[in-house]
Amino acid sequence: MGKKGNICVIMADVTEDYRDEYLIGVAKQAEKLNYVTTVFSMALLNQQKTQGEESVYDLIDFNKYDGVVFFEKSFSANKSMGKRMERYISEKCNKPVVVLGNSTVLGDAFSGDYSRNIELLTDHIIEQHNCELLYFLGGYQGYATKIDIGFMNSLKKHGISVTDDNMIYGGFWRECADKLAEDIAYGNVEKPDAVICYSDIIAFFFIKALFRHGIRVPDDIIVTGFSASTTAQNGILSITTCSCDTEYLGRIAVSRLHSLISGEDEPQIIRPRPNIITGMSCGCGTNQHHNMRRSLEMHEKRSVEDTHFANSELDERLFACRDIQDISDVISQTHYLIADKSSLAVCLHIDKNISRCLFMLDFIGKEDQVDFKSTDILPPNATQADSSTIIYVLPIVFNDKNLGHIAVCYNKPTIYNAHFKNYTRHLAIGLEVLRIRNNAALTLTEASVPTEVDRKSKTLFAYSGETLHRISIDNVLYFETDGRKTVAVLRSARLVVRSSLSQLEEQYMDAGFLRVSKSTLLNITKVTGYTPDSDRTMLVTLMGNVKIRVSRKFASEFKARIADI
């Protein structure tokens, strides 16, 4: 077919949900029309906020792409950022742009017509379950989705009057679900036979809210979702739902973009028939459309990947790194955690003009680094992208610091998963720890690197969630093991430390720390009193009236050390 073209996709995040079917449709149609798809996304771990992840969009050089697909729908959790991206694309891009969603700035925007899908789902509830009073829950009045139109069409077709009382708007999240459940429970609105929800996630929250008020689903009220997302097949109560043709619309977006790029007629794509998936929320159970074998295969695959990631000790390896070479070694040993890839590249941003590739599978070994222009995604001599179908570019960011990016290539249309996001996040934490250790901008110099414990100041690194802390060991009451983790217990916090209890014991034996049980290392300077017990253990009281127990094995040494203070 000749030389491949290039399509750029700009989106907020991959969520392993129904929205990602848009992206699969984009990638499949792009492959069919001989385009490579490069996806720039933020890989948010918390969709309600960002910590500088939007810096990934600064890597986009629109001159290198034949056209752009802007996934406006994916910015629903951060509308203001979506609007900023619209303006940015309008100002910087002179190539054809197709928008999946809504846009007042960019042309060729479409969000799809789901009215037929939701109409068939409502038909099922009315015809198979003899429902007469139905509510539609979710969204905003006047919001251009056409989902509520399909609901109204079904009611009218069955001779059921449609009034404002049938339409319960209120947003796209749990607040509207909680409010309607409360209104039903307290008699503020008439209890309906069924509620058709705007999405599976709203249906899930609504079912939980009803349960809290003692209202059973489907015995008291039938509930459906919409979009056939992974939320519908949850472990609590499977939700009756309907597909919304997202893969088809992704294909349409690329076909339309190809027509704008080439001047050819838009390739025609057959729209699939709506697929109603019945679950326990309407009492039908799951029908033959649900592919149980596929679900089991995917579950098994995720279980294996979860086990690999849990056993990788990635955090520990990164926290032990003393220089960039160590980081590169860790990447070379752990890149297997990102499954099904054809290539992977990890790049640091040295300055606004230069990026440095620390590691690239099958191109750059762990002993080498390659510098290249910061406007490039991969080093110019890398050939992996030539055979790729889709490339994902994610930022490596820590607390608004843009440290670099990671690019992963796949040879077939594939959605990256949570392991890819977490791997990127772990790299960011490891690089930030290394930066703090060097107390300067990250470089490849051979400068000496301080150990994890600064013995002069008696401080160490620990973190809670995604936040990194530098704490004084004088503020630690004790260290303890909690599962696979080591935790530093302070008077007001519990922070994870990337050292074993044995390592901490060796490091701090001269700083007032003493092993008092198999799982506890005590700061004896924090002891305010102790009481012997009948089983020859000791109950020790620490500052803040915190109490721990000293085992029989360590009781004698504990009393001896306390006597010397």
pLDDT per position as a tens digit, 131-156: 999 999 988 776 656 788 889 999 99
Q: Distances from the Cα of 328 to the Cαs of 230, 359, 371, in angstroms?
A: 36, 6, 15
DSSP characters for 473-513? GGG--EEEEETTEEEEE-SS-EEEESS-HHHHHHHHTTTTE
Residues 6+ apart with CB under 8 A from 417: 16, 302, 305, 339
HSE-CB at 522 with a 13 A cutoff on CA atoms is: 30
Q: What is the model's pLDDT at position 3?
A: 62
Lowest average pLDDT, out of 93-97, 159-163, 468-472, goes to 468-472
User: What CATH architecture applies to the domain 5-110+247-262?
Assistant: 3-Layer(aba) Sandwich (3.40)
DSSP characters for 271-295? PPPP-EE--TTTT----TTS-HHHH
Q: What is the model's pLDDT at position 452?
A: 41
Q: What is the model's pLDDT at position 308?
A: 66
Lowest average pLDDT, out of 88-92, 131-135, 204-208, 416-420, goes to 416-420
Reading phi first (left if > 0) and then psi (alpha if -120 to 50, else beta), residue 323 is in: beta
Q: What is the model's pLDDT at position 18?
A: 66
Percentage of the chain with pLDDT > 90?
Answer: 33
HSE-CB at 412 with a 13 A cutoff on CA atoms is: 2
CA distance 466 to 69: 31
Higher-pLDDT residue of 101, 89: 89
Higher-pLDDT residue of 313, 39: 39
- Topology (CATH level 3) of domain 115-244+275-296: Rossmann fold (3.40.50)
> Rounded mean pLDDT of 118-143?
90
Homologous superfamily in CATH for domain 459-564: LytTr DNA-binding domain (2.40.50.1020)
Q: Residue 486: name the closest of 522, 462, 506, 450 by CA.
A: 462
Q: What is the model's pLDDT at position 365?
A: 54
Domain boundaries, the chain: 5-110+247-262, 115-244+275-296, 323-386+397-408+417-438, 459-564
Percentage of the chain with pLDDT > 70?
Answer: 85
Q: What is the model's pLDDT at position 125?
A: 95
Secondary structure class of 343 (helix, strand, coil): strand
Q: Residue 232: name the closest of 249, 207, 254 by CA.
A: 207
Tell me the residue type at 103. S
> Rounded mean pLDDT of 323-329?
85
> Rounded mean pLDDT of 55-66?
92
Q: What is the model's pLDDT at position 87?
A: 92
Q: What is the model's pLDDT at position 147?
A: 80
Confidence of residue 444 (pLDDT cuts 50, 70, 90): very low
Whether the predicted pLDDT of 103 surpasses 50: yes
> Rounded mean pLDDT of 414-425?
85
CA distance 328 to 397: 17
Higher-pLDDT residue of 229, 196: 196
Mean pLDDT of the chain: 83
Phi and psi angles of residue 380, each rounded to the nearest 5 degrees, phi first: -60, -25
Q: Work out the angle between the directed axes of helices 324-334 and 418-438 (0-180°, nearest 10).
A: 160
> Rounded mean pLDDT of 239-260?
91
Q: In the structure encoding, which two tokens stand for residue 269, read together?
A: 């794509």
Q: What is the model's pLDDT at position 294?
A: 55
DSSP characters for 190-239? PPPSEEEESSHHHHHHHHHHHHHTT--TTTT-EEE-SS--GGGG-SS---
What count of other Cβ atoms lies within 10 Å of the Cβ of residue 356? 20
pLDDT per position as a tens digit, 167-208: 998 877 788 999 999 999 999 999 999 999 988 889 999 999
pLDDT per position as a tens digit, 509-525: 888 899 999 899 999 98
Q: What is the DSSP letter of 265?
A: P
pLDDT per position as a tens digit, 303-312: 666 666 666 7
> Rounded mean pLDDT of 431-445?
60
> Rounded mean pLDDT of 285-301?
55
Lowest average pLDDT, out of 193-197, 361-365, 537-541, goes to 361-365
Q: What is the model's pLDDT at position 268?
A: 86
Whether the predicted pLDDT of 235 surpasses 70: no
CA distance 228 to 237: 14
CA distance 336 to 341: 9
Confidence of residue 367 (pLDDT cuts 50, 70, 90): low
> Rounded mean pLDDT of 385-408?
86
Lowest average pLDDT, out of 287-291, 391-395, 492-496, 556-560, goes to 287-291
Higher-pLDDT residue of 493, 27: 27
Whether the predicted pLDDT of 532 surpasses 70: yes
Q: In the structure encoding, which two tokens stand for residue 42, read together?
A: 């933020």
Confidence of residue 434 (pLDDT cuts 50, 70, 90): confident
Q: Are 327 and 321 in contact (CB under 8 A)?
A: yes
Q: The pTM is what?
A: 0.72
Are domains 115-244+275-296 and 459-564 of this chain identical in fold?
Answer: no
> Rounded mean pLDDT of 439-458?
40
Whether the predicted pLDDT of 166 surpasses 80: yes
HEC string of 364-383 equals ECCCCCEEEECCCCCCCCCC
Place of tokens 């590249």: 345
Q: In the structure encoding, which two tokens stand for residue 131, read together?
A: 């429902």
Whether the predicted pLDDT of 442 surpasses 50: no
> Rounded mean pLDDT of 354-373?
74
